[in-house]
Amino acid sequence: MTVSEASRREMHAELVKKLGASVADTLMDYLPHAGWSDLARRSDLDRLVVEMQAMESRLETKIAELRADMNDKFASQTRWFMASQLVLVAAVIGSITAIAH
């Protein structure tokens, strides 16, 4: 059940009549402005921490998998590039040798 702002003002007016303005203001300051269902309990926060730790663990696993995949792709790309450069050098040497003869 949520408390409307009108209900809060009515309660404050009654508290002022019975306890005085200063005490009523102090008491109202300690009451939540939203419904009690909007407040987090310690168990809610503990559950959130556990969920965040699980998410962090999954994220670290995904990052490790991504790093491994990138390393494999970079190694493959480097091998392909070096092989193509060797073929190019061999072709240039072959062309120079053919021209020289």
- pLDDT digit string (tens) for 2-29? 667 788 889 999 999 999 999 999 988 8
Sorted by sequence, the CB contacts under 8 Å of residue 38 that are 6+ apart come out as 32
| pTM for this entry | 0.49
Helix (H) or strand (E) holding 67: helix 42-100
41 and 49 Cβ atoms separated by less than 8 Å: no
| Cβ atoms of 79 and 72 closer than 8 Å | no
For 44-91, the pLDDT digits (tens) are 899 999 999 999 999 999 999 999 999 999 999 999 999 999 999 999
**DSSP label at 74?**
H
User: Within its chain, how far is the Cα of 48 from the centroid?
Assistant: 13
Where residue 20 falls (left for φ over 0; alpha for ψ -120 to 50; beta otherwise) is left
Residue located via tokens 């120079």: 96
